[in-house]
Amino acid sequence: MRESGDKVLRLDTLVLNNCQLDDECLNEVAKFAWRVPNLHLQGGVFTPTSMRTLTKHLRRSDADNHSSRIVSINLKGCKLDSESLSELAEAVPRLQSLTISYNNFSGPEGVKTLASCLEECNASERKTTFVDLRHCRLTEGSKKLLSELSKKDKIEFKLW
């Protein structure tokens, strides 16, 4: 990320899996997350507040005319709930891939917000092609909503 002599060093993937990261850690990571194409935070323990912060920093990079490089985020098994998904949903159309499996989205609000953000985003601006929601305790209504969105907008959702 910094220049070293004549070369610019780039970080393509940041893997912090199973490091027991919490909201405080994610707040620090979020400040530069938009610069890293692939962010793996599997096994962290995050709340809706940290998802709001992550989304805010991704949105700010766009507003500041920084070219966001992030294409993939892995939040598998991070103890996210439906409120966390609602907070994260605004950032999803910017991503090509999102892994949020092994979380608890049993409440329908988060999935509805996610679907709404993906539908409302201009198709030419939306980058999302894949979302992994396996083992997330989705309701039948949520599964149906995502299946319909998948057919309509050509987004692959792994649901089970």
Domain boundaries, the chain: 3-158
Q: How many CB atoms lie within 10 A of CB 152?
A: 10
pLDDT in tens, 50-89: 999 999 998 876 666 566 789 999 999 999 999 999 999 9
Contact between 113 and 149 under an 8 Å Cβ cutoff? The reply is no
Output the pTM of the full model: 0.90
Look at 33 and 38; give whichever has higher pLDDT: 38
What CATH class does 3-158 carry? alpha beta
Residue type, 117: C
Look at 66 and 33; give whichever has higher pLDDT: 33
Q: What percent of the chain has pLDDT over 90?
A: 76
